[in-house]
């Protein structure tokens, strides 16, 4: 197992750079890649989740600014997601506080949820277009009321998953939004998902901070790379046609699948 101090000066900023660029470009890759990487580097499960959440909040705030300038955020979708995710996040943090964030049972639960979330992430990217087409054929385009209600429910599920594992805000959120808003351009779906992740990860990360689950020096090392990474990725995203984003999503899938194997080894 790698020593965190020996690798932090190079490996963590580089990891932040790569993950930040992928998040800015696709909306996917934050928790799905970073949390398993931190576990691989020997960081405790709850500390990995807490640190990654605050790291993601800062990184995605920068990404939101870039997407906002480019006009690629639907704030109506962001509000709907937040209505479900914010209370779900608060309740999940309450559960962690009362269960004991550093206990063996909570650690085991977090790793299990992380594995499930990574598996769902892989499936969602693999079959995203097929799922969207199947839903469109089966149910047609949802009414605005149906889309609103299902978006709130999606936010609730994301709030629980992200608070426990830091995974889900990207791939799962984007997949749900593609099915609920099939006529919305992909770049706008990605931008809206990143914008929603800011309050979600900030609240969840602040809760983990209060539980003592944040390594600030580690977070700083990650941000050294992630901020320029997400600036580049967010700048590039609107300049790529939608068919150019799909191979990027498929590439993220390969990395997520590899990290899923690592998670199973813990």
Geometric angle at alpha carbon 225, from 28 and 18, rounded to 5°: 40
Alpha-carbon distances, residue 189 vs 26, 39, 219, 237, 245 (angstroms): 10, 30, 27, 12, 12
Is 76 inside any structural domain?
Answer: yes
Is 16 inside any structural domain?
Answer: yes
Q: Where are the alpha helices (DSSP H) in the chain?
A: 4-8, 11-26, 30-40, 45-69, 75-99, 104-126, 128-139, 144-165, 171-180, 186-210, 216-236, 242-265
- Predicted local confidence at residue 38, as pLDDT: 84
Is 1 inside any structural domain?
Answer: no
- Predicted local confidence at residue 263, as pLDDT: 43
- Predicted local confidence at residue 250, as pLDDT: 57
Ranges of residues in the chain with a pLDDT under 70 are 1-8, 26-31, 100-109, 111, 114-116, 118-119, 121-123, 125-126, 241-266
Task: State how far the Cα of 166 lies from the Cα of 250, in Å rounded to an integer.
Answer: 21
Is 71 inside any structural domain?
Answer: yes
Task: State how far the Cα of 61 lies from the Cα of 66, in Å rounded to an integer.
Answer: 9
- Predicted local confidence at residue 85, as pLDDT: 94
Q: With b meaning 16 or more CB within 10 Å and e meaning fewer, what string describes 203-213? A: bbbbbbeebeb
Is 136 inside any structural domain?
Answer: yes
Is 3 inside any structural domain?
Answer: no
Determine how many CB atoms are found less than 10 A away from the CB of residue 250: 13
- Predicted local confidence at residue 5, as pLDDT: 45
Determine how many CB atoms are found less than 10 A away from the CB of residue 152: 16
- Predicted local confidence at residue 234, as pLDDT: 76
- Predicted local confidence at residue 24, as pLDDT: 74
Helix (H, G, I), strand (E, B) or coil at 266: coil
pTM > 0.85: no
Helix (H, G, I), strand (E, B) or coil at 241: coil
Of how many residues is the chain composed? 266
- Predicted local confidence at residue 176, as pLDDT: 86
Range of the domain at 199: 12-265
Give the residue among 58, 40, 54, 61 at the shortest CA–CA distance from 212: 54
Is 28 inside any structural domain?
Answer: yes
- The number of folded domains in the chain is 1
User: Tokens 């899923």 — which residue?
Assistant: 260
Is 43 inside any structural domain?
Answer: yes
* Interhelix angle 45-69/104-126, nearest 10 degrees: 40
The answer to whether the CB of 29 falls within 8 A of the CB of 172 is: no
Q: With b meaning 16 or more CB within 10 Å and e meaning fewer, what string describes 89-102? A: beebbeebeeeebe
The answer to whether the CB of 248 falls within 8 A of the CB of 25 is: yes
Alpha-carbon distances, residue 157 vs 163, 217, 247 (angstroms): 10, 30, 27
Give the residue among 1, 2, 3, 37 at the shortest CA–CA distance from 17: 37
Determine how many CB atoms are found less than 10 A away from the CB of residue 134: 12
């Amino acid at each position: 197992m790698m020593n965190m101090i020996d690798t932090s000066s190079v490996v963590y900023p580089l990891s932040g750079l790569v993950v930040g660029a992928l998040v800015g470009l696709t909306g996917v890759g934050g928790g799905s890649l970073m949390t398993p990487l931190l576990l691989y580097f020997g960081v405790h499960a709850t500390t990995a989740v807490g640190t990654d959440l605050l790291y993601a909040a800062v990184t995605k705030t920068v990404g939101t600014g870039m997407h906002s300038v480019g006009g690629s955020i639907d704030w109506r979708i962001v509000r709907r997601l937040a209505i479900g995710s914010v209370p779900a996040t608060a309740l999940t943090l309450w559960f962690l506080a009362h269960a004991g964030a550093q206990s063996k049972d909570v650690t085991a639960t977090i790793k299990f949820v992380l594995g499930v979330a990574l598996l769902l992430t892989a499936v969602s990217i693999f079959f995203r277009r097929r799922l969207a087409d199947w839903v469109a054929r089966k149910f047609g385009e949802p009414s605005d009321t149906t889309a609103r209600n299902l978006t709130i429910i999606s936010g609730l599920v994301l709030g629980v998953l992200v608070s426990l594992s830091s995974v889900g805000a990207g791939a799962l959120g984007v997949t749900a939004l593609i099915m609920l808003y099939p006529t919305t351009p992909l770049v706008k779906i990605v931008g809206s998902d990143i914008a929603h992740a800011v309050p979600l990860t900030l609240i969840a990360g602040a809760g983990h901070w209060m539980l003592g689950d944040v390594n600030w020096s580690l977070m700083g090392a990650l941000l050294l790379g992630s901020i320029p990474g997400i600036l580049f990725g967010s700048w590039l995203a609107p300049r790529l046609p939608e068919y150019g984003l799909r191979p990027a999503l498929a590439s993220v899938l390969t990395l997520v699948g590899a990290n899923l194997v690592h998670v199973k080894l813990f």
